[in-house]
Chains A and B, each alone.
Chain A
Amino acid sequence: MADKQATREAYGKALLILGAENPNVVVLDADLSKSTKTADFGKKYPERFFNMGIAESNLLGTAAGLAAAGKIPFASTFAIFAVGRAFEQIRNSIAYPKLNVKIAATHSGITVGEDGGSHQAIEDVAIMRAVPNMVVLVPADGEETRQVILASAKYYGPVYIRMGRLDVPLLFDEDYHFEIGKANVLKEGTDVAIMANGIMVSMALEAASDLAAEGIKVSVVNVASVKPLDEDTIVRVAKTTKAVVTAEEHNIIGGLGSAISEVLAERQPTPIVRVGLKDTFGESGKPVELLEKYGLTKAALIKAVHEVLAKKQK
């Protein structure tokens, strides 16, 4: 697990695969192509790359038109500008007519770091999840990102893909299999489950190892597909562990923790502790320091596991 790669890096590389495979794949960006990593696609396939300037509403609206005429557009900018600035274009020009647009957003969450709270999307999953027809995917590492991007191109319809700026540990190899609507149980345990996505997956695995030393058997479930949600796997695991911790680099309101809570409340009532931002904006700082400050660490997960185990015993 020594090697690291930002999910946005993997995105840029996956686009090159798609560019070679499918002439209908086009890429749009809003003056951030060096950061979102779409620039390499732009260099290799200039005729299929459209820089729309700093105009996100038009970025998403143009993507809708390209999709209406048969293209498979990947529209990229930072998560805050895609979901924030262009929400209603996504809602009315893309999701409402179920057009085949992939909103590939990078720089999500507080690991944006130094740029500060204005640039750290912490509510994007909640917003996208509430939009009918929208698929919401949050890959954990480079390999999963590659598979998420390729799967998104094969799927017909709008997809929101949430990626990050920060280098994160490489967890998976080519034997790993991502599928839209499927959760992956990375580790089976009987005492408690940590259900995580994005950068929290590697921390969940590390927490599980530490907890094993304490004699606590932890299931780790990677829920990259937030919508559609793999309800059956979540319910099956919760039935066994009878205690669940959710973990996401996102507000605890409306994201993965909420999605899992909703399913379990209806189908398998289970004690839950949600790890995420506690309804607060981020701030400027080094990503690692911010993760520490806002409680998105292995230690925070271990603490949450003890909390939920105490609830379970009541």
Chain B
Amino acid sequence: MTTIELKRVANVIRQDIISMLVTAKSGHPGGSLSAADIVATLFFNEMRINPKDPKWADRDRFVLSKGHAAPVLYSALAEKGYFSKEELKGLRQTGHMLQGHPDMKKTPGVDMSTGSLGQGLSAANGMALAGKLDGKDYRVYALLGDGEMAEGQVWEAAMASAHYKLDNVTAIIDYNGLQIDGKTDSVMCSAPLLEKWQAFCWHVIEVDGHDIDALLAAFAEAKTVKGKPTMIIAKTVKGKGVSFMEDQAGWHGNAPSVEQGEQALKELREEAANLG
């Protein structure tokens, strides 16, 4: 896909996120919107996947370690054709398949159940180890949050990825700088992330997480790195694309009202029109 096409996909994903959360009346808009460009680039350009065969043994895997951003994943899966877009209306509702956090048992295309922060990279490493054992060339992508960096298990896993030379792992930090209780660095300072991940023997790339071309280049670079895993630190804006949500910690886990949702969709449709 071209850059402009990926931008359009990301815009549609953002619209889906807003619509889903308005209907569900709960969920996490901020960290879903911040990750939309990353997820769009992965699912619509980068990853080797087949929506008709979600369990294909040779597919690339995606682990949403920051599982509360489930809406961004669900939208990407629906837009990709893993299931009908109608399903998005059932988000977080009793008896529906789209759980509050990703559930690999219920939702086709979800490679790992996540939601409890800190656990995704370990699972991604396991998949990557299995891939190496089986002589398969699939890659494993894991998307983490910056607030999640406070979880000790992340660093246990970081050590192991490098120890086992998992160059088939590409992790991404959605570095939006905010978490529930405020600015990430005031809640629990995790900076400097670049130096930390380098010190853990990872290949580290810093990008603007809303710059599709930069993301494409980073994913391409990661594939050329041998003998070590790659971390892409993607600087993002929480709530990206919706003016009143941008850079507001308060929109971490609150759904927009119907009126707020309409305002948000209006802005996103205007952006879509500008994209042509």
A98 vs B104: C-alpha distance when bound (angstroms): 10
A59-71 Cβ-contact flags toward B at 8 Å (1 or 0): 0111111111111
A48 vs B164: C-alpha distance when bound (angstroms): 12
- Interface-side segment among B31-39, B124-132, B223-231: B124-132
> How many B residues touch the partner, as a band?
20 to 34
Q: Are A66 and B156 in contact (CB under 8 A)?
A: no
- Interface-side segment among B76-84, B110-118, B176-184, B192-200: B110-118
Q: Classify the secondary structure of A's interface with B.
A: helix
- Interface-side segment among A33-41, A49-57, A164-172, A177-185: A49-57
Take A66-B126, A70-B130, A97-B104 as given contacts and tell me if A89 and B153 are in contact as well, using a CB distance cutoff of 8 Å.
yes
Contacting A66 at CB < 8 Å: which of B61, B111, B119, B130?
B130
A62 vs B113: C-alpha distance when bound (angstroms): 13
Take A50-B164, A53-B160, A58-B156 as given contacts and tell me if A93 and B122 are in contact as well, using a CB distance cutoff of 8 Å.
yes
Q: Are B153 and A65 in contact (CB under 8 A)?
A: no
**Chain A CB within 10 A, most for which of B63, B105, B118, B119:** B119
B88-123 Cβ-contact flags toward A at 8 Å (1 or 0): 000000000000000111000001110110110111
Contacting B126 at CB < 8 Å: which of A64, A92, A98?
A64
Q: Are A57 and B122 in contact (CB under 8 A)?
A: yes
Q: Are B119 and A93 in contact (CB under 8 A)?
A: yes
Contacting A67 at CB < 8 Å: which of B125, B126, B133, B153?
B126
Residues in A whose Cβ lies below 8 Å from that of B104: 68, 97
Q: Does A96 belong to the interface (CB within 8 Å)?
A: yes
Q: Are B156 and A57 in contact (CB under 8 A)?
A: yes
Take A57-B152, A57-B153, A93-B122 as given contacts and tell me if A48 and B127 are in contact as well, using a CB distance cutoff of 8 Å.
no
Residues in B whose Cβ lies below 8 Å from that of A57: 118-119, 122, 152-153, 156
Q: Min CB distance, B21 to chain A, in Å?
A: 23
A53 vs B153: C-alpha distance when bound (angstroms): 13
**Chain B CB within 10 A, most for which of A47, A62, A66:** A62
Q: Are B119 and A89 in contact (CB under 8 A)?
A: yes
A70 vs B63: C-alpha distance when bound (angstroms): 16
Kindly report which residue of chain A lies nearest to residue B110, judged by CB atoms. Answer: A97
Q: Does A88 belong to the interface (CB within 8 Å)?
A: yes
Restricting to A61-84, which residues have a CB under 8 Å from any CB of B? 61-71, 73
Q: Does A103 belong to the interface (CB within 8 Å)?
A: no
Restricting to B222-265, which residues have a CB under 8 Å from any CB of A? none
Take A50-B164, A53-B160 as given contacts and tell me if A64 and B122 are in contact as well, using a CB distance cutoff of 8 Å.
yes
Q: Does A26 belong to the interface (CB within 8 Å)?
A: yes
Kindly report which residue of chain B lies nearest to residue A52, judged by CB atoms. Answer: B160
Restricting to A110-165, which residues have a CB under 8 Å from any CB of B? none
Kindly report which residue of chain B lies nearest to residue A54, judged by CB atoms. Answer: B156
Residues in A whose Cβ lies below 8 Å from that of B111: 68
B40-66 Cβ-contact flags toward A at 8 Å (1 or 0): 000000000000000001000101000
Contacting A58 at CB < 8 Å: which of B57, B61, B113, B122?
B122
B127-169 Cβ-contact flags toward A at 8 Å (1 or 0): 1111101100000000000000000110011011001100000
Q: A58-B156, A98-B105 are in contact. List 18 more A-B contacts (CB 8 A).
A: A26-B133, A47-B133, A57-B152, A57-B156, A58-B159, A61-B125, A62-B125, A64-B122, A65-B122, A68-B61, A68-B126, A69-B126, A70-B134, A88-B116, A92-B119, A93-B112, A96-B113, A97-B112
The 6 closest A-B pairs by CB, nearest first: A65-B126, A61-B122, A69-B130, A58-B156, A65-B123, A55-B156
Give me the interface of A with B, judged by CB distance under 8 Å: 26, 47-48, 50, 52-53, 55, 57-58, 60-71, 73, 88-89, 92-93, 96-98
| Chain A to chain B contacts (Cβ below 8 Å), 15 pairs | A26-B129, A50-B129, A53-B156, A55-B153, A57-B156, A58-B122, A64-B112, A64-B126, A65-B130, A66-B127, A66-B129, A68-B61, A68-B111, A68-B123, A93-B112
